[in-house]
Structure 1
Amino acid sequence: MKISQKLFLAFIGLTSIVLVATLSLARWSFDQGFSNYIHSLEENRLTHLSKSLTTLYSQSDFNWNNVTSEQYERLLSFFIPDIAKIAKTDRKGPPPRAGFREGRIKPPPSASGDTRAGIAPHLRNPERRGPPRRNGPPTAIYTPDGVLLAGETFDSLEEKISIPVTHDGDVIAILYSNPRVEVDSQSAQAFFEQQLWTSLWIGLLCLMLASLISWVLARLLLLPVKEVIKSISHLSKGNYSERFNEKRLDELGQLMNDIDLLAMTLDKNRTAKNRWFADISHELRTPLSILCGEIDAIKAEIRPFNQVQLKSLEQEVMRIKHLVDDLYQLSLSDLGGLKYHFEPLNITVCITETLNSLIDKVSEKGLSINFINSEKVIVNGDKMRLQQLFTNVVLNAVAYTDSPGHIDIDLIEESASLLILVNDTKPSVPLDDCEVLFDPLHRQDSSRARRNNGAGLGLTISRNIVEAHSGSITARPSNLGGLCIEIILPIFKESH
């Protein structure tokens, strides 16, 4: 299954869940609102009825015994028209006849043998006329003590709507009503079915609309993803020139920028690799060509085989050996294969020993070295690798400095680091080219490109050594007219 189909199905599934939950909550809210509306109307009716009962109580000399059953029934027959139209009670069959039926209340026995002593005395007369029929919810009037005065008989007064009837702040009776609604009339049932079908059609329409929107969104959201997949496919095939034209500010835009940067890096590395192979081939071909030419000349007896020719052959062999050794050292340093033994050492002594071993080569070139520093500066490093570092830097300066000239080495101790400056005299290097001096086999198309031996790997190996010592090495034009190599190493701090 394609990702577009999965994304579409995810949108549809999420929309369906939200839609079902929304319609269910809407249905529940409708039922609750309808029930609350019925209860509100019933409370309004009971409030009006309580006022009429208070008036009737006052007119009956403040005694419920003076109220006839007909008066009660006429009051209880009062209802709000909306209640009669909407509320249909849970009673089955025709509405009950108004008044009190025998057997509705089971009164306690009295001393006179009257079994209706628990009912108000004025209601004990069985001869009464039927008052108007009541269509509203079942309603009853009780005294504060729980004696039924008129109305329906409830098995339990809990969960009933109750309104107190008061007179001068005293509760003289309590009205109870049971407006529980059962939708069993045809009109109400038709209304509820209509609402249900309307909700279903609305849900179906919303689902179709959500499906259309989900399909469009899935296609729009996958467009940049497809572009990313296409770009990665180009990278896997070695085509590093493709770039994204669309500029985005979201996470996909950041991914596109990273892929563009990766393509540029891969292209740069491939170019550097090709250039490196070409340079290595050139460096190896030159001494090999000389060797082959001299050997052919000796074999053809054009040149005699003597010590002079043997020394010339040895020089070319040593040149090849030097190049192979540099390549081996570079590969080890790039792979982290150079072994380091770190220990606190005096960098001043390390530099002095290195310069003493190179004094003959410096003198042969007609140069001089100035290094005057008697202060003791301790760094944590590998003595052999640091001497290799200083050897490469000094020999690079010797190879590229015109005679007569000089090389200055200065140590500047800062708070937590040591700055080593190696300055030489002209010729110099343009500032823009200083950043690439540490690339393997780099050559400058200037007067500093002239050198007698080496393959241009010394500074690259030096950079790896400095980085292994948690330092940095950079190059810039020197104030002396040549090149300045800046080396920064951390100073060793003894823990107390």
Structure 2
Amino acid sequence: MTLRLKLILVLLGFGFLMLEAMMWSNQYLLHNTMVKYVDKRDQLRLERLKNNIEVYMDEKGVFDTNDLDLDVWQRLLTASHRVDLTHTYIPMDILLEREYPKMLQIHPDEFESRVSLISKEGQVIIGPEPTKNGMEESIIVDREEVGQLGYNHRDELTEKTDIEFTEDQSMVFTWGAVLMTGVALLLLLPFASHFLSPIRKLTLGMRKLSQGQFATRLQHDRKDEFGQLQQDFNYLAASLEKSQQSRNQWIADISHELRTPLTILQGSLEAIKDGIRPANETNLQQIHEEVLWLNRLVDDLYQVTLNDIGGLNYKMNPVDFKRVVTSSVAMVDDAAQEKGLRLSVHFSEDTFKLNGDESRLQQLVTNLLWNSIAYTDAVTASGEQGQVIISLSRTSSHVIFSIEDSAPSVNEDEIPYLFERLYRTEGSRNRRHGGAGLGLAIVQQIVEAHMGKVSVAPSELGGIKVSVKLPV
């Protein structure tokens, strides 16, 4: 069953449910309202009856309802249907002398069957016993209560005209509800299409994404929740497309990096095997260097990949970062002197305690030092000796470690890409001197794991300056 059919069925069911509810509520409310209306009309008649009895008793000097004649009661009860003697005066003799129809005595109307005359002692003289929910109206003559009128509220409609009126109104409301439901059902199809159209487009787009078509985009033409969903879909598709391109580039770069040392190894071994080159110490040393280079490259790739999958663990402990930097400088000092570079160290007198993984911090500093040494010329264009300056300072909340070197530098527009994997500022530079381009990527991962920041800027010495800011 399609979503469209399900939606239509749900709306149909809801429409019929609302129709039933409207029909029931119309019947219930109309009936109750009509009963209350008729009951209110009877109460007005009860008020007229009370007034008529008071006029009669005052005019005839009767001061007890027990002395009220039955014939007089029936005549006043019948007259109260339309006449209120306090508003429309009729001589009492004329009213009482008028012949009272016997038919009315035998067949009283609904009101007369529910009203009763009560003595001032509370005894029912004429009519039914009052109910708990009934009304009582006091009869006052010469400012004294001479009796009461009792009235039992009506629970159902009994008169034909009232019942017919209620049925007619109920029919009108029922057909109105049916008509409104029918109109709502006719509007279901266009409304269903309006709401389901973006869902169908989204489903089609997701199917294309699952097939690897990451260039798929949805038209962002709505401003409701579906519009936000379209925008989120396009963002997801763009992220997947960028991830695919990055992965493809990553695989291509790795293949290129591995091909170079493997080609050299294969050529050297085949030359020795064919007797073109002798298997002497020099040739074997060259092969050994290629193996070491390949091993370093694979190890760097492993470090980067391990961090991506969350497998690179960090053991955080208090670390003396100054001792870490001093140890790393000592490790690269011979290499710097051999290349002809001058290393300068500038430490402040502060303490440099921080919480971190000592081995990873050692790797961070060493990678930055090797990177600077590898890319700094021994002699600058002006004939001066190349140099690398290591600085260590701190603020109240951070330790700041920086390395700046002399020429060559990089273009400012290339600085944001220096921490990308396998990135080199010069495509023709031999990786034998510059490395595989993974050192700075590993540095960035270690810095982020320590909740720090790393930045690169041009150096006043002519090269670049790398600054690492770590929280204490």
Shorter-chain TM-score: which interval? 0.7 to 0.9
Aligned partner of 2:300 in structure 1 is 326
Q: 2:100 aligns with which of 108, 123, 131?
A: 131
The answer to whether 1:402 aligns with 2:402 is no
Indicate whether 1:463 and 2:464 are aligned.
no
When residues 255 and 157 of structure 1 are mapped into structure 2, their CA distance, relative to the original with a 3 A threshold, is closer
Aligned-partner SS, 1:476: strand
Deviations 1:147-203 (A, max 9, x none): 445xx4213443333322223543222122346365466555544443443333233
The CA RMSD measured in Å over matched residues stands at 2.9
2:44 equivalent in structure 1: 44
**Conservation of the 8 A alpha-carbon contact between 1:441 and 1:456:** yes
How do 1:84-163 and structure 2 match up within 5 A?
Answer: 131-132=100-101, 133=104, 135=109, 137-138=111-112, 139-149=115-125, 152-163=126-137
Name the residue aligned to 1:338: 312
- The equivalent position to 1:216 in structure 2, one of 163, 183, 190, is 190
Q: Is the 8 A contact 1:429 1:448 kept in 2?
A: no
CA distance in 2, matches of 1:46, 1:449: 115
Question: CA separation in 2, counterparts of 1:24 and 1:218?
Answer: 28
Counterpart for residue 254 of structure 2: 280
- Is residue 219–residue 230 contact of structure 2 (8 Å, CA) maintained in 1? no
Deviation at 1:385, TM superposition (A): 1.6
> Which has the larger displacement, 262-271 or 11-20?
11-20
Q: Distance in 1 between matches of 2:393 and 2:225?
A: 46
Secondary structure of the structure 2 residue equivalent to 1:379: strand
Q: Retained in 1: the 8 A contact 2:375–2:434?
A: no
**Greater alpha carbon shift after TM alignment, 422-431 vs 293-302:** 293-302
Q: Helix, strand or coil: the match of 2:346?
A: coil
TM-score of the superposition, structure 2-length normalised? 0.84
- Please say if 1:30 is aligned against 2:51: no
Question: Residue 284 of structure 2 corresponds to which residue in structure 1?
Answer: 310
Residue matched to 2:353: 378
Q: Residue in 1 aligned with 2:72? A: 71
Question: How much has 1:32 moved relative to structure 2?
Answer: 1.7
Describe the shift of the 1:314–1:370 C-alpha distance in structure 2 as closer, same or farther (beyond 3 A): same
Q: Greater CA deviation, 440-449 or 212-221?
A: 440-449
Question: Letter of the aligned partner of 2:415 in structure 1?
Answer: C
Structure 1 equivalent of residue 399 of structure 2: 418
Letter matched to residue 385 of structure 1: R
The answer to whether residue 30 in structure 2 is matched with residue 18 in structure 1 is: no
Give the TM-score, by structure 1 length: 0.80
User: Quick one: which of 293, 317, 341 aligns to 1:367?
Assistant: 341
CA displacement, residues 329-362 of structure 1 (integer Å, 9 cap, x when unaligned): 2222323333433321210011011001101222
Alpha carbons of structure 1 residues 187 and 137: separation in structure 2 relative to 1, 3 Å: closer
The counterpart of 2:454, out of the listed 465, 469, 473, is 473
Percent sequence identity over aligned pairs: 33
Partners of 1:442 and 1:168 lie apart in 2 by 115
Q: Displacement, 1:255?
A: 3.0
Task: Quote the offset at 1:141 in angstroms.
Answer: 2.2
Q: Distance in 2 between matches of 1:73 and 1:140?
A: 11
1:351 aligns with 2:325: yes
CA contact (8 A) 1:70 1:129 kept: no
Q: Counterparts of 1:148 and 1:298 in 2: how far apart (Å)?
A: 136
Take 2:139 and 2:301, find their aligned partners in 1: how far apart are those partners?
109
* Residue of structure 2 equivalent to 1:429: 410
| In 1, Cα distance between equivalents of 2:206 and 2:371 | 42
- The equivalent residue for 2:464 is 483
Correspondence for 2:212 = 238
* Secondary structure of the corresponding residue to residue 372 of structure 1: strand
Indicate if the aligned counterparts of 2:49 and 2:77 stay in contact, CA closer than 8 A.
Answer: yes
Distance (Å, rounded) in 2 between the aligned partners of 1:47 and 1:408: 111
- 2:181 maps to 1:200: no
Distance 1:226 1:479 in 2: 59
**Is the CA contact 1:160–1:177 (under 8 Å) kept in the aligned structure 2?**
yes
Per-residue displacement from partner, 1:447-494 (whole Å, max 9, x unpaired)? Answer: 988761521111122222222323232333334432222222221xxx
Gaps in structure 2 of 5+ consecutive residues = 84-96, 380-385
1:444 aligns with 2:425: yes
Unaligned runs of 5+ in 1: 83-127, 492-496
Cα deviation digits, residues 410-438 of structure 1 (max 9, x gap): 22322222222222233333444333322
Distance 2:372 2:158 in 1: 106
Query: SS of the residue aligned with 1:428?
Result: coil
> Structure 1 CA distance, aligned partners of 2:169 and 2:62?
50
CA contact (8 A) 2:456 2:467 kept: yes
Q: Return closer, same or farther for 1:169/1:131 CA change in 2, 3 Å cut-off.
A: same
8 Å CA contact retained: 2:447, 2:470: yes
Letter in 1 for 2:249: R
CA contact (8 A) 1:400 1:450 kept: no
Aligned residue number for residue 241 of structure 2 = 267
Letter in 1 for 2:229: L
Residue 24 of structure 1 aligns to a residue whose secondary structure is: helix
The counterpart of 1:166, out of the listed 140, 150, 172, is 140
CA distance in 1, matches of 2:302, 2:167: 88
Residues 32-79 of structure 1 deviation map (CA, whole Å, 9 limit, x = unaligned)? 211111121112112222222222122122434765444333211114
Q: 1:427 to 1:249 in 2, by over 3 A?
A: farther
DSSP 3-state at the match of 2:187: helix
Query: Alignment partner of 2:79: what SS?
Result: coil
Q: Corresponding residue for 1:102?
A: none
Secondary structure in structure 2 of the residue aligned to 1:423: strand
Q: Which amino acid aligns with 1:162?
A: E
Amino acid at match of 2:24: S
The change in CA–CA distance for 1:415 and 1:247 in structure 2 (over 3 A counts) is farther
> Which 10-residue stretch deviates more, 448-457 or 166-175?
448-457
Q: Tell whether the 8 Å contact from 1:362 to 1:368 is kept in structure 2 after alignment.
A: yes
Equivalent-residue separation in structure 2 for 1:252 and 1:394 (angstroms)? 52
> 1:53 matched to which residue of 2?
53
CA shift in 2, pair 1:352/1:258, >3 Å: same
